[in-house]
Amino acid sequence: MFAALKDKSTRDSAAQLGFVGIFILLIVVFGFTARSNLEAQGMTSGFGFLERATGWGISFSLIDFSTSDTYLKAIWVGILNSLFLGVIALTLATVLGVAIGVMRVSGNKMAQLIATTYVEIFRNLPLLLQVFFWYAILTTLPRPRDFADATGPIFFTGRGVYLPGLNVTGLSVFLVFAALVVTFGLWIWLKSARKFARVSMSQKKTRARGIWITWLVLSAGLLWWGRIPDSSLVSQPFLKGLNFREGIRISPELMACIVSISIYGGAYIGEIVRAGFNAVGKGQSEAGHALGLSQFQTFVYIRLPLAIRAVLPTLINQYVWLFKSTTIGIAVGFVDFFMVISTSINQSGQTLELIAILMGGFLVINYSMAWVLNRVNDAIKLKGNQLRT
């Protein structure tokens, strides 16, 4: 017995077995306790409840949802809403962040001052506080009925922001966006993949133009196909009675989430972008100047592409992190994935199953997001001795 303990490999195996064993034991104990607790409460476990009708409505949904729809569909609505919020907020955060990052490295002290103030204020306040703040601001805007003699395409009211929209089906809009993503991917691929290294610059340009024109034609066709019959193509919101009709209404909940996540994320991304610009050696832009490029050309063709490549890995982590923060939608009542799950738990009592779905959903979303972005990173990152300072 003691002789066996002296042998290192035996000890190692025992340690590993013990470690993994403790984990399995914990899970088994949890499982059995859960089972006996559930039995005591007379509940049945399993995923059968997903087929039941929910009996509650969802205030914001990209697909049709009614109270007689199933839990499965409600969860799907939640996931779509989360992705919707995530895509909008992350895009805006990126735009803001790049602008702020550029301002911080620009030679202009005034721009630096503004950008630094922005970053220091919004990065140092909790996201939740910002969501509450914007929500309070947005819901205390004037009521729609106060807009009786206001004109303009956009109305900021306490019940939401009203924008002009298109009278088309959701499916066609989705297809247009999907086509945009595919086109963008193709464009990046064409620009940077090894495969096209020998294709000449002008030929690449022609091809890129071809790709984008195809997208434009395709989306025009898709929108035309998706028209809702017997209505004008553009729908402009107008006041009727106490509220606005037609157009697109962005609820204060969604708006507060979008505004706060993009502002908060913009501050973080701004810092990342700044670090990226600082990582690009001074020699690079000096070489650009020496070749006779203007300040602007040096920036667009040399510093920006190099900076993006330098920061992409950090940016990927930031995106995953920001996407997780969309769960704060529950604080103001935006029905995202997390809120659907928590409402379902309250209503159906199937706690364990729903939590498993929540965690599984986030694992899948985050891992696939990281996977896609890492592929993009692999495609455009500098290889070998390309990175010089």
Partner 1 sequence: MAKTYHPPSVIEAIRADYFSTRLNSVVTVTFATFVAWAIWQLVNWGLINATFSEENKDACGHGAGGACWAVIDARWRLVLFGLYPFEEQWRSGIACVAIVITGILSCVPWFWNARRLSGLWVGGFLVFYILMRGGILGLTPVFEQNWGGLSLTIFIFATTTLLGMPLAIVFALLRRSELPWIARTMGVVIDTIRSLPLLSIMFTFAIVLPFVLPGWMIGDKLYRVIVGYALFFACYQAEIIRGGMQALSPGQEEAAKALGMGYWHRIGYIVLPQAFRNALPPTINQLVITFKETSLVVIIGFFEILASGNAAYGNADWNFAHVEVYCFVGFIYFIFVFALSRYGAHLERRMAVAQR
Applying CB under 8 A, which residues contact partner 1? 12, 15-16, 19-20, 23, 29-31, 33-34, 37-38, 106-111, 113-114, 120-121, 123-129, 132-133, 136-137, 140, 295, 320, 324-325, 327-328, 330-331, 338, 342, 345, 351-352, 355, 358-359, 362-363, 366-367
Report residue 286 as tokens: 């000096």
Q: Which is nearer to partner 1, 138 or 312 (CB)?
A: 138
341-345, long-range: CB < 8 A, 24+ apart: 341/75, 341/78, 343/56, 344/54, 344/71, 344/74, 344/75
Residue 235 is given by DSSP the state E
Q: Which is nearer to partner 1, 244 or 268 (CB)?
A: 268
CB of 327 to partner 1, least distance (A): 4
CB of 339 to partner 1, least distance (A): 10
CB of 329 to partner 1, least distance (A): 10
CB of 166 to partner 1, least distance (A): 33
Element housing 245 (H / E): strand 243-245
| Dist CA 125 CA 9 (whole Å) | 52
Q: Can you tell me which residue has the tokens 């989430």? A: 257
Report residue 182 as tokens: 């595919």
List the one residue out of 255, 250, 239 whose CA is nearest residue 152. 239
Report residue 139 as tokens: 């819901």
Distance from first CA to last CA of the chain, Å, rounded? Answer: 61
Strand, helix or coil for residue 161 = strand
CB of 171 to partner 1, least distance (A): 29
Q: Which is nearer to partner 1, 138 or 176 (CB)?
A: 138
| Dist CA 35 CA 44 (whole Å) | 9
CB of 197 to partner 1, least distance (A): 34
Which residues have a Cβ under 8 Å from the Cβ of 80 and sit 6 or more positions away? 61, 62, 63
CB of 110 to partner 1, least distance (A): 4
| Dist CA 84 CA 102 (whole Å) | 27
Q: Which is nearer to partner 1, 50 or 365 (CB)?
A: 365
Q: Which is nearer to partner 1, 123 or 191 (CB)?
A: 123
Which residues have a Cβ under 8 Å from the Cβ of 271 and sit 6 or more positions away? 101, 119, 123
Q: Which is nearer to partner 1, 139 or 284 (CB)?
A: 139
Q: Which is nearer to partner 1, 37 or 214 (CB)?
A: 37
Query: CA angle 319-323-324, nearest 5°?
Result: 120
Q: Which is nearer to partner 1, 113 or 188 (CB)?
A: 113
* Alpha carbon 296 to chain centroid, angstroms: 30
| Dist CA 16 CA 108 (whole Å) | 59
Residue pair 38/344 in contact (Cβ under 8 Å)? The answer is no
Q: Which is nearer to partner 1, 186 or 352 (CB)?
A: 352
Q: Which is nearer to partner 1, 109 or 383 (CB)?
A: 109
| Dist CA 253 CA 256 (whole Å) | 5
CB of 135 to partner 1, least distance (A): 9
**Other Cβ atoms closer than 10 A to 164:** 14
Residue pair 93/201 in contact (Cβ under 8 Å)? The answer is no
CB of 64 to partner 1, least distance (A): 27
CB of 82 to partner 1, least distance (A): 10
